[in-house]
Structure 1
Amino acid sequence: MKGAFAAWAAFTLPSALLMVLFAYGTGWIGAAAGTGWLRGVKVVAVAVVAQAVLTMARSLCPDRTRAGFAVAAAALTLLLPGWGAQIGVIAGGGVLGLLLLRGKGTGTDEVEPDGGSQLAGSLRPRQAAGALIAFFSLLALLPALAAAAGGSQTLSALAGFYRAGALVFGGGHVVLPLLDAVVVAPGRISSDAFLAGYGAAQAVPGPLFSFAAYLGTLLAPGAAGLASAALCLGALYLPSFLVLFGTLPFWQRLRQRRQAQAALSGINAAVVGLLLAALYDPVWVAGVHNRADAALVFVCLLLLEGWRLPSWAVVGVGALAGTGLAMAGL
């Protein structure tokens, strides 16, 4: 377990620190928050999410049934915004998958990583059970504690980040609509600041979840932003560690059960729908304000999907193009 945490820290902390610096930097560029290079970064975020929807749809929705799941999930998410509807959509995808998708596979890579069986053997069943108990207990207790504390903003945010981490299936970009429900919908962070940070996260090395450090920094003023960034980052990652340690001892048997495969297949299709809905709101709504922005989205999508340029390079192109559009008055 110590090795797992060390690997996580080495992989995550550099990008998290860069995102913290970006969050602090937005303070002195506040006057340019809606124009110029930051405008271009937000437009790139639109293209990145569009590419993620296409990529996930090809992998996780390879037939009409699962494509239907995704479209239905997107429609319900747009009509019933909020994290409660998101949980319902994901759970509904699992139930429908269990009923309709047996024998179709999950659409994900099912090859066990090297060393997976050895790591599973190093965990005792009692330790695994404790991890799963902690996972579900925190999922239930954190919102209750926030309510008992009179709607504490800190506890509410931690509960939301933990819930988002617990509900990510199919790919890291799925965290976008989940975190939007945590920080944008309640009015804690503006949609412009949210999308700008998401675009910046594409340009830094490391995992996309480092976006949580940026959001945490914005949630608390001044030096308190550092502690808030660490708490939000930890809350987002903690569910994955608990589920990993809780399921490893019996994952080999679980993944061979048709019922589990069918439910996961339905869940994966549903989260494609969640991301599709997020592509419209908040991503397109906050990032595209005129025809010039829309044209730049299409160019960036071509660079990502057609030319296969790395996302950090496209962020640079978008920033330069956004500056040019602002100077031209477009």
Structure 2
Amino acid sequence: MDAKKTLVIAIAAVSGGGKTTVTTVLNKKLHNSKALYFDDYEFDSPEDICEWVERGSDYNEWNLTPLINDLNSLLSNSIESLDYIILDYPFAYKYDKMSKYIDLTIFIDTPLDIAMARRILRDFKEFSFESIRQDLDVYLSRGRLGYLEALNSIKPNSDFVIDGSLPVEAIVSQILEIINRRSKFENMNYVEYIRDRVGHDAINLTGVNILIINKNNQILLQRRGTFPYKWGLVGGITELGESLEETAIREAKEETGLDIKGLRLLGTTSGEKCYMDLPNGDKAYFITVGYFTKSFSGVLNIDDFETKELKFFSYEQLPDNIPNSHRVMIDKYYNNFEVGDLNVDGFR
């Protein structure tokens, strides 16, 4: 089983926007987490930030190697694997060498007047009024560009934007909800993900059936534990972004324990005749691509959940109550190919 992946969350905001406070509180709320703070590091960076903004804000001019090294160290520690790493980090996905590590970016959208008031209260406790006035002069003449850069570049580059005028606990609560929702969806397969949004309504589902044929020209059938038929072909629904061939190989391995190759296209089934009301109330039209192969290896394995029994059958001794769409594929194979014939060029 694969180890659980550490979720890396980056919190961004303008200076005074609350990202450090939010990062600290979030780190306390999450289990088995660690926070890294941008301001704890000394970076090689543009000498004049305002001038850097004026010439286009190339975030890759920064050298964030110390932060990246610490992040890598945490991610590669297999002994004390973390569930979460929270970054107090102002660049979202803009810094190329860092972006590949980040799974989720949050921008705290704090009104600039609130951010400025916080910054003055935070940074100028021991300074004179003249120092505050000089800082405000710099802000009005040039420094405001840096704040606008965050709003114009980092905010739209983030996955989620949260109102920074809310209390810290409310902001953290929203972030926790986002994390929980993400975790829920990551643990879903494609069909569960779609069903979470549309309920039991009818949808199109694309999948594959695989005819695994042994040397005696018998076909492997599966008695399913999660299907309204007793026996059927090996197969299943494609996951998001998965090719049909990848689906066939994966489903064969999951449902039978066999490694298959040399897949040949047999045909397709679709349309009204492939509509089905499933026992859990789901409704679906199945668009299915059929493959067959005589090239397989491994030992048949029954998981006793999705698969209750696996058995090779001759065409003359097929069991009853096979789904019609599966029967179409089986008939198509046995009625169009001689024993051992794998030449399907031109067949549709």
TM class, shorter-length: under 0.3
**Greater fraction of residues in helix:** 1
**Greater fraction of residues in strand:** 2
CA radius of gyration, larger in: 2
Q: TM-score, normalised by structure 1?
A: 0.22
Q: TM-score, normalised by structure 2?
A: 0.21
